[in-house]
Amino acid sequence: MGAFDVYCVICGATTTEIETGPREQPEDDEYDEDVYMENIYDEDAYVENKYDADVIGDEDMEWFRQARLLGFNPDAPGANKFFVSGAGEYLDGGIFDVDEGSEPDSAIEDFDLGGVRNWGDCGSGQRGFPFHRQCYTLLARVLTGTEDTGKINKGVLYRIFGGLISWKSRCSDLDYGDATQGQDQTWEAIPGYGYTVINPERRESLVGDIFEVIKRDKFAETPSSLNLGYKVRWDPFQQVPESLLRDILDLLDHESMLNLCQASWGIFNLTRYNWRL
């Protein structure tokens, strides 16, 4: 079977670092996704599995080396038997090399993390669920309104993940959107989907870059008028009395009304104030 990856149960992306570098462009300088996907499954075709360094830098890959494990220690002395490990790296075969971490509870003390597996039949070992620290923080923000991960009930979360994954799965059955495009035996660095591996944490440098772009002259230009009525050459609905138009609109569903607003400036102008909150 060879090497295989396991994926973050929260975002669905890889838990191992992916190479970045210059990507060779096709001669016609166009990317055909269908051809690329065919090449992935063609044993005679070779596709470099790396992200374009002009789009994703090495620093964008560093956060994958900070994976944690959500696990269960049945022999923990305290009431809390669920734990989150320290940072670690994925080795292979569903096994992580992780630290114990610095959690205040004792659920992870004297526990053999080497026996925790993330794929296949766990046997006598315990299943662990890998995730990125940044994804866990984001999950806390969604669930609790704060970035305090201590407010997350680890026992409940462990049971939820356990119900969403089969014994042979390397990721849960959740819909991860575009991240599923890269979930193969090993993670596929598919062009156009690089945003699925970007660190979700706030970046002050990115905020500065956005402000620099907004300052450019192109963003300083404002249209002379937002009223586009003068551009209408002919609109038959402008010849229909308003009372009759309203009677017609009363017979339409919302989708048909919106389509009519797109087709006719007169209808749009008549109904535009109806949509205000």
Instruction: Output the pLDDT for position 102.
Output: 52
Tell me: do 174 and 74 sit in the same domain.
yes
Instruction: Kindly give the parts of the chain with pLDDT less than 70.
Output: 1-2, 23-47, 93-94, 99-115, 117-125, 166-170, 220-230, 273-277
- Give the range of the structural domain holding residue 96, as residue numbers without chain letter: 1-221
Instruction: Output the pLDDT for position 152.
Output: 93
Tell me: do 161 and 240 sit in the same domain.
no
Tell me: do 119 and 203 sit in the same domain.
yes
Structure tokens belonging to residue 89: 């790296």
Instruction: Output the pLDDT for position 258.
Output: 87
Tell me: do 162 and 259 sit in the same domain.
no
Instruction: Output the pLDDT for position 103.
Output: 54
C-beta of residue 12 within 8 angstroms of C-beta of residue 171 = yes
Tell me: do 60 and 179 sit in the same domain.
yes
Tell me: do 167 and 246 sit in the same domain.
no
C-beta of residue 147 within 8 angstroms of C-beta of residue 158 = no
Tell me: do 151 and 270 sit in the same domain.
no
Tell me: do 22 and 132 sit in the same domain.
yes
C-beta of residue 54 within 8 angstroms of C-beta of residue 44 = no
Instruction: Output the pLDDT for position 122.
Output: 58
Torsion-angle region of residue 93: left (phi > 0), alpha (psi -120 to 50) or beta? left
Structure tokens belonging to residue 269: 């102008």
Bridge partners, residue 68, by sequence = 131
Q: What is the pLDDT of residues 177-230, one digit of tens each?
A: 888 888 888 888 888 888 888 888 887 777 888 888 888 777 766 655 556 666
Tell me: do 149 and 12 sit in the same domain.
yes
Tell me: do 246 and 146 sit in the same domain.
no
Half-sphere exposure of 118 (CA within 13 A, CB side): 32
